[in-house]
Structure 1
Amino acid sequence: MRIAVVGAGGVGGYFGTRLAVAGNDVTFVARGRHLEAIRRNGLEIRSPLGAVRAPAGSAVASISELGPVDLVIVAVKLWDTDDVAKQLRPAVDRGARVISLQNGVHKDTILRRHLSDEAVLGGACYISAFIQEPGIIIHNGTLQKVVFGDYQREQTPLAQTFLAACRTAGIEAEISSDIERLIWEKFVFLVGLSATTTAIRQPIGVVRAHPRSRALLRDLMAEVVAVGQASGVSLDEKFADDRLTFCDTLPAGMTSSMHNDLEHGNRLELPWLSGGVVELATRTGISVPRNQAVADILAPYELGRPPRD
């Protein structure tokens, strides 16, 4: 496949490199020193599953430099989605389809403001990976999975082709016939993980071990379930309890990308996580006091580490 990966961070860098090593024609859109390192030395993945490296020179600085592609994987931070969607219109006009592996439930709505509904595949990924230094991605643990599907539920040949490409690359992958529900299910977990690890400044092991922070984790996820149900998504009433049990299976040191961004003084995806829950709850008339509290606590850090007087 001819694949473009817009955003070569932990998610895009990991999956794009695996696909490139398996023989697909992958081009990364990257920035700054990360771009320079990929052009010079390729993109290296350091993982318990084995180290792999995408070839040198497999990166460009902008979407406008891409040649014809079959699929565009969007993996930028959520605040860049609107701008990226506008830039992808020429690629879509040439026949490309787009799949976002970003966080949250707002991403595809933003993409479809600028691209046709048929061009956008729904997608979700499950991985913990970060840029360690320019040109090097660290994969934490062995979880690395993508799930995707057409919103129209009748899966197109491209979805099947991408499934085969992922599996050949050693990526755990599957097609979902109800991708909207699956994206919301991930959102439930993601909000709980990101909110607690970031607000408490500790990995999931610490969060789940204390009764009060454990209750906070469960309540945050239960609020997302309630908002999803009010938005017309068929989420199980006990899904928050199911995800709490799932959290008990995670490595104690696992954290979230938002916690990682906070620790490094970076901008946070807060408006699309707990802040996004608050926004959607306002539309549907649902009370979400736990997510509101997290959004308020983290608000001073939303644009990065606040200056000190």
Structure 2
Amino acid sequence: MRIAVVGAGGVGGFFGARLAAAGDEVTFVARGRHLEAIRADGLSVRSALGDLRVAPEAVVPSIADVPAADVVLVAVKLWDTEDVAKQLRPLAEAGATVISLQNGVQKDDVLREHLPARSVMGGACYISAFIEEPGVVRHNGTLQKLVFGEFGAHGAEPSRRAGALLDRCAAAGIEAEVSPAVERVIWEKFVFLTGLSGTTSAVRQPIGVVRGTPGSRALLRDVMREAAAVGRARGVDLDAGLADERLAFCDTLPADMTSSMHNDLKNGNRLELPWLSGAVADLGRELGVPAPRNQAIADVLSPYVMGAPATGAE
């Protein structure tokens, strides 16, 4: 299978490298120091499941440099989605299936604004991985899973293209499944991720501290309840007890686990906040669903959205 991976960071780098190792023709789109390092020495993936290395010639600096693709995996930060969608149109019109592995619940709406709706398949990923240094991706732990499927499948058998990708994932040792309710899967992940990212960032502590302190534990629960309520108002079939179930799941996580947004906050990087707690608050307003806890997190962290703010000190 010809696969283009747009964004060769933790998510794209790991899954793309495993597919490449299984014999698929994978082209990575990267930029900056990461691109330069891959061009010089290839892409290295360090993982408890086995280290991998992708040859330097597998990386290109632009989507326009991808000759052809059967599947495009989008793994860039959420603020780049619209720009990437515009650039993907020639590949999509030529028949490529586009699957976003990004966080958030608005990503596929953005893709469908610029691409043929038929070309967009829903997707979600479950992994902890990051760029350890330019040219090197580190996979934390052993969790690595992809879920994808056609929008509006409603219990139908997997489509031919979904089944083909599932086969390639199996060959690559990637845990994967085709979901007949992929929009619900995306929202279920979003509910959890909004809680994890919002609270670890606002409290500036890992999940162990958040869940172990009564006030911040209540905040975590309420943030997820608000997100789930917004999803239901959007017509997504989410269980009434989803937030409480996700809270129980948080109790099983390693105490030192944090979120990518918390890491970005600590490192002074731009935040995906507007597409997480900010999105819950914005969508809640549109739908008439109160989301005061998510709004508070969006407000508290707003000075850091574009990175560490200038202090004004001389």
Q: TM over 0.5, yes or no?
A: yes
Aligned letter for 1:269? E
Q: Distance in 2 between matches of 1:205 and 1:129?
A: 20
TM superposition shift of 1:243: 0.3
Residue in structure 2 matched with residue 25 of structure 1 by the alignment: 25
Q: Does residue 1:207 correspond to 2:210, yes or no? A: yes
Residue in structure 2 matched with residue 108 of structure 1 by the alignment: 108
Q: Distance in 1 between matches of 2:282 and 2:240?
A: 21
Residue in structure 1 matched with residue 271 of structure 2 by the alignment: 268
- Structure 1: gaps (5+ residues): none
TM superposition shift of 1:56: 2.1
Give 1:146-295 correspondences, 5 Å limit. Answer: 146-153=146-153, 154=156, 155-295=158-298
Instruction: Single out whichever of 202-211 and 86-95 deviates more from structure 2.
Output: 202-211
Q: In the TM superposition, what whole-angstrom CA distance separates every residue of 1:128-147 from its partner, at most 9, and x where no partner exists?
A: 11111001111111111110
Taking only aligned residues, the RMSD between alpha carbons, in angstroms, comes to: 0.9
Aligned letter for 1:12? G
Q: Distance in 2 between matches of 1:168 and 1:179?
A: 22
Q: In the TM superposition, what whole-angstrom CA distance separates every residue of 1:153-196 from its partner, at most 9, and x where no partner exists?
A: 15321111111111111111000000011100000000000001
**Contact 2:147/2:178 (CA < 8 Å) preserved in 1?**
yes
Q: Distance in 2 between matches of 1:144 and 1:206?
A: 25
**Contact 1:72/1:97 (CA < 8 Å) preserved in 2?**
yes
TM superposition shift of 1:14: 1.0
TM superposition shift of 1:216: 0.9
Q: In the TM superposition, what whole-angstrom CA distance separates every residue of 1:194-233 from its partner, at most 9, and x where no partner exists?
A: 0011111111112111121111111100001111111111
Instruction: Single out whichever of 271-280 and 153-162 deviates more from structure 2.
Output: 153-162
SS at match of 2:290: coil
Residue in structure 2 matched with residue 122 of structure 1 by the alignment: 122
Q: Does residue 1:16 correspond to 2:19, yes or no? A: no
Q: Does residue 1:58 correspond to 2:58, yes or no? A: yes
SS at match of 2:198: helix
Aligned letter for 2:267? H
TM superposition shift of 1:94: 1.3
**Contact 2:93/2:116 (CA < 8 Å) preserved in 1?**
no
SS at match of 1:307: coil
**Contact 1:99/1:121 (CA < 8 Å) preserved in 2?**
yes
Q: Does residue 1:306 correspond to 2:309, yes or no? A: yes
Q: Distance in 2 between matches of 1:253 and 1:172?
A: 25
Q: Distance in 2 between matches of 1:49 and 1:251?
A: 19
Instruction: Single out whichever of 77-86 and 204-213 deviates more from structure 2.
Output: 204-213
TM normalised by structure 2 equals 0.97
> What is the percentage of aligned positions where both structures have the same residue?
65
Q: In the TM superposition, what whole-angstrom CA distance separates every residue of 1:256-295 from its partner, at most 9, and x where no partner exists?
A: 1111111111110111000000110011101111101100
Aligned letter for 2:98? V
Q: Does residue 1:39 correspond to 2:39, yes or no? A: yes
Q: Does residue 1:78 correspond to 2:81, yes or no? A: no
Residue in structure 2 matched with residue 142 of structure 1 by the alignment: 142
Q: Distance in 1 between matches of 2:139 and 2:48?
A: 7
SS at match of 2:26: strand
Aligned letter for 1:168? A
Size of the aligned set, in residue pairs, is: 309
TM superposition shift of 1:21: 1.0
Instruction: Single out whichever of 76-85 and 197-206 deviates more from structure 2.
Output: 197-206
**Contact 1:40/1:57 (CA < 8 Å) preserved in 2?**
no
TM superposition shift of 1:10: 0.9
TM superposition shift of 1:30: 0.2
